[in-house]
Amino acid sequence: MGSVMTKLTLWNNTDLDLVERGLMSPEAVRTVEVEALVDTGATQLVIPIDICRRLGLRPGRAVPVELADGRVVDMTYMTSLHISILGREMNCDALASPEGMTPLIGQIPLEGLDLVVDPRSREARPNPAHPDGPLFYARRAA
């Protein structure tokens, strides 16, 4: 399967909360739109540090991350992020990668937005079993 790219829109979620409370104008919300690689081998959303800075995201803790080449490096969680992919939205955290790297959409945002990857067309799509939006599960494991 070749690369699967899709549009990713990111907002500073704290800004969105301030707009909701009437403390910030909608025009002042920090947002970025980028092309991102859908990477089913990645766990998290990963965005370059320069985008994190443009969005004014808050750094969280550093965590060990295994890269595709097997190296383990510490990466910083960036918090208070709101994302949209293919018209589906969620709040999430992201790992900060070095400046200029391609953003990665990993398993957690794919699952949270109920998106699937079509290997033939090389596209990410909303899950056809749930066309109106993500389906969440709240049940005990067997």
pLDDT tens readout for residues 4-60: 999 999 999 999 999 999 999 999 999 999 999 999 999 999 999 999 999 999 999
Round to whole Å and give the CA distance between 114 and 126.
6
Residue 30 sits at φ, ψ, to 5 deg, of -80, 125
If you classify domain 5-126 with CATH, what class do you get? Answer: mainly beta
pLDDT of res. 135: 80
Round to whole Å and give the CA distance between 61 and 75.
8
Please report, for the chain, the start and end positions of each structural domain, with discontinuous segments joined by +. Answer: 5-126
